Amino acid sequence: MDNFVLHNPTKILFGKNTIPLIGKETVAFGNNALLVYGKNSIKDNGIYQRVVSSLTAAGAQIHEHPGVQSNPLLDHVHDGIAKCRKHNCDVICAVGGGSVIDEAKAISAGVLVDHDVWKFLTGKKSIKQTLPLTTVLTIAASGSESNSGMVITHDFKKQKFGFANRHLFPKTSILDPETTFSVPSDYTAFGAIDTLSHILEFYLTTQVVDSSVQDSLMEGLVKNVVMNTDRCLVDPTDYDARANLMWSASLALNGLVSAGLGKVMFPMHLVEHSLSALYDVPHGAGLAITITGWMRYCARTAPFRISKLGKNAFGIEAGSVTESAHATTDYLLEWFRRIAAPTCLEDIGAGKESIPYIAANALPQAKVWRMREISEKVIEEILHCCLK
């Protein structure tokens, strides 16, 4: 295990009836709040009113920034920054999933600088300070509620970039599993796939020889994500399944499971960012495709880790290491199909002829992320593994 520093400053309030606490938690950092959320789902399920009531009772003045979409757009971030400045907001409260929280993070960083917030995403500028951010999570997926990352799509350039900085950790995040009861089955599945991708990227790209503790954590999380997703799709109001899924999503990317793994990479996200930027597919849907392709690629080039995952997470025993790796990949592929996720480029209207275009779009992100091992040729090879 490599040396590591684990520091996660986000306060988590987990469980039933925790939404009424958001007001007190938010006004601890400021009274003039920008409320960031998506479209109408939180109004339809009553979460919006509960949050607003709590903020108002705590003495917060609320200025709303609705309309965040899946794969949040830079132009909408700019609108949020303008609102924040106009109303002199001193705190931000985000209510939603990873897209909403990511946009809120971008606003919190962008409002305090004179340059375009996009310069953070491209690595040209580093974040020195942000407005404080609190969140109410409504979907188990990205882990943005307790990590330092954000992902934004540039409308004009059709580029989707991710960036992490220690100042982007939310101050407090409310995780009430009941908020996810109304999440549709497709987005429940896509969120679970996003969670899986975080774990699998750490698991399959670490070069640490002995990581038995972290391996056990990751294998257990993978097993639980699959099992509890199946339960949620059978009964959307299964509280314990929703709770297990929500907590798994946070644990997958809050720094715990990657501790001691040394340098890790995000090849699945690298390729998927181009898919969702160019084809506007939900993040988890694009990841189902890239997970399948990446694991096929790794099954040929480095099968041992996949074989180990299959044995310890799914009980797969299938002859040689290579055969076991392919069997594990096929297991996940069939699970993706069973939960109605896309599994190949053709499912989103792309194909073999699109591969050079997608790979060229992904290369700038690879350079920003300093993934020197992932050349344009490698990206194209991975994409060929994403074909039907």
The first and second tokens of residue 265, run together, are 């990479």
Domain-terminating residue out of 121, 147, 179:
179
Q: Are residues 165 and 273 in the same domain?
A: no
Looking at 130, 157, 179, the residue that finishes a domain is 179
CA dihedral 276, 184, 224, 191 (to 10 degrees): 20
Give per-residue pLDDT as tens, 195-236. Answer: 999 999 999 999 999 999 999 999 999 999 999 999 999 999
Taking only the tens place, the pLDDT of each residue in 146-165 is 999 999 999 999 999 999 99
Rounded Cα–Cα distance for residues 347 and 370 (Å):
30
Of 116, 150, 179, which marks where a domain is finished? 179
What are the distances in angstroms from CA 227 to CA 16, 169, 348, 349?
22, 29, 26, 30
| Distance from C-alpha of 377 to C-alpha of 194, rounded to nearest angstrom | 25
CATH number at residue 144: 3.40.50.1970
277 inside domain: yes
81 located within any domain: yes
Structural domains in the chain (count): 2
Compute the distance between CA of residue 167 and CA of residue 211 in angstroms, rounded to an integer. 29
pLDDT of res. 302? 87
- The answer to whether 317 and 273 are in contact (CB under 8 A) is no
Contact 95, 136 (CB under 8 A): yes
Measuring CA to CA, which residue among 284, 239, 23 is closest to residue 276? 284
Burial category of 204 from C-beta neighbours within 10 Å (exposed 0-12, middle 13-18, buried 19 and up):
buried
Distance between CA atoms of residues 247 and 193, nearest Å: 14
Whether residue 255 is contained in a domain is answered as: yes
> In terms of domains, do 271 and 335 share one?
yes
**Judgement on whether residues 315 and 174 belong to the same structural domain of the protein:** no
pLDDT recorded at residue 32: 98
**pLDDT per residue over 243-273, tens digit each?**
999 999 999 999 999 999 999 999 999 999 9
264 lies in the same domain as 337: yes
Q: Does 362 fall in a domain?
A: yes
The CATH number that applies at residue 216 is 1.20.1090.10
Q: Taking Cα atoms as reference points, which of 132, 243, 133 lies closest to residue 180?
A: 243
Cα-Cα-Cα-Cα dihedral sign, residues 173, 175, 179, 180: positive
Residues 339 and 361 occupy one common structural domain: yes
Task: Assess whether 370 and 355 both reside in one domain.
Answer: yes
What gap in Å lies between CA 195 and CA 311, rounded to an integer? 20
| Domain contains 66 | yes
Whether 123 and 238 map to the same domain: the answer is no
Closest CA to 185 of 141, 229, 243, 250: 229
- Tokens representing residue 54 in the block: 């709590």
Same domain, residue pair 175 and 76: yes
The sign one gets for the Cα dihedral 191, 170, 135, 90 is negative
What six digits make up the tokens of 382?
């991975």
Q: Is residue 275 part of a domain?
A: yes
- Do 270 and 152 share a structural domain? no
Q: How high is the pLDDT of residue 11? A: 98
pTM of the model: 0.96
pLDDT on residue 377: 95
User: Per the domain annotation, does 1 fall within a domain?
Assistant: no
Q: What sign for the dihedral angle of Cα 118, 157, 138, 36?
A: positive
Do 261 and 310 belong to one domain?
yes
Sheet strand arrangement including 32-37: 11-14, 172-175, 133-137, 91-96, 32-37, 61-65
Per-residue pLDDT of the chain (388 residues; tens, 9 = 90+): 999 999 999 999 999 999 999 999 999 999 999 999 999 899 999 999 999 999 999 999 999 999 999 999 999 999 999 999 999 999 999 999 999 999 999 999 999 999 999 999 999 999 999 999 999 999 999 999 999 999 999 999 999 999 999 999 999 999 999 999 999 999 999 999 999 999 999 999 999 999 999 999 999 999 999 999 999 999 999 999 999 999 999 999 999 999 999 999 999 999 999 999 999 999 999 999 999 999 999 998 889 999 999 999 999 998 899 999 999 999 999 999 999 999 999 999 999 999 999 999 999 999 999 999 899 999 999 999 999 9
Helices (DSSP H) in 47-140: which residue ranges?
47-57, 74-86, 98-110, 118-121
Measured in residues, the chain has a length of 388
User: For residue 189, is it within any domain?
Assistant: yes
Pairing of strands 172-175, 11-14: parallel
Quick one: 109 and 232 in the same domain? no
**Residue 303 shares a structural domain with residue 265:** yes
DSSP conformation class of 158: T
**What is the C-alpha separation between 273 and 181, in angstroms, rounded?**
28
Domain residue limits at 223: 184-384
Q: Round to whole Å and give the CA distance between 385 and 388.
A: 8
Long-range contacts of residues 24-27, Cβ cutoff 8 Å, at least 24 apart = 24/54, 24/58, 25/134, 25/171, 25/172, 25/174, 26/55, 26/58, 26/60, 26/91, 26/93, 26/134, 26/172, 27/55, 27/58, 27/59, 27/60, 27/91
